[in-house]
Amino acid sequence: MCPGNNEGTMEQLHSTEECLSINEVLSRVGDKWSLQVISQLGGGTLRFTELKRSVGGISQRMLTLTLRQLERDGLVERTVYPTVPPKVEYMLSDFGRTILIPVTALADWALTYRLDIQAAREAFDSRQLRAVVGAPNTVQGLPLGEASRPSLQTRR
């Protein structure tokens, strides 16, 4: 947990350098495709086409880039067999398997609380809408004169 964000946990605060490291790792493994690829490979070794089929909506290029980055990070191992056409398999490395526990926990949390998140979003959107609609003579919270007025910045 990083300085300035210490609610809800008893963990100690991390330094700015540690926060940057945490953010870097979470950006890599927390993106849309990496989590799905890691989850699929958690079930065992897969060939490229099997992996592409199992990760719905991913393009061939995006799967290639994702696998390459996960391999670079040491989470995925790529094995090429000298056949015609070449057979390529992907599997989680021993190191990559260590991420399955937190990824699975996060996925379980998301499934458990998805309805709560949806309700919170709907409540937020409703409050935002009431604030805009409830404010007389406004457009999206701005007085009508300001909403239609061009930006104060001018060309030079």
Which residues, other chains included, contact 141 with Cβ-Cβ below 8 Å and sequence gap of 6+? 131, 132, 135
Confidence of residue 7 (pLDDT cuts 50, 70, 90): low
Task: Provide the residue type at 53 as one letter.
Answer: R
pLDDT per residue as tens digits for the range 64-118: 999 999 999 999 999 999 999 989 999 999 999 999 998 888 889 989 999 999 9
Write out the E strands in 1-156: 46-47, 76-81, 87-92, 138-139, 142-143
Query: Which whole number is the average pLDDT over 46-69?
Result: 96
Confidence of residue 28 (pLDDT cuts 50, 70, 90): confident
What pLDDT score does 148 carry? Answer: 47
On whether the CB atoms of residues 29 and 75 are closer than 8 A, the answer is: yes
What pLDDT score does 107 carry? Answer: 83
Query: Which whole number is the average pLDDT over 34-47?
Result: 94
- 85 versus 146: which is more confidently predicted? 85
Provide DSSP, 65-105: HHHHHHHHTTSEEEEEE--SSPEEEEEE-HHHHTTHHHHHH
What is the average pLDDT value for the chain, to the nearest integer?
Answer: 83
Is residue 34 pLDDT above 80, yes or no? yes
On whether the CB atoms of residues 37 and 55 are closer than 8 A, the answer is: yes
What pLDDT score does 149 carry? Answer: 46
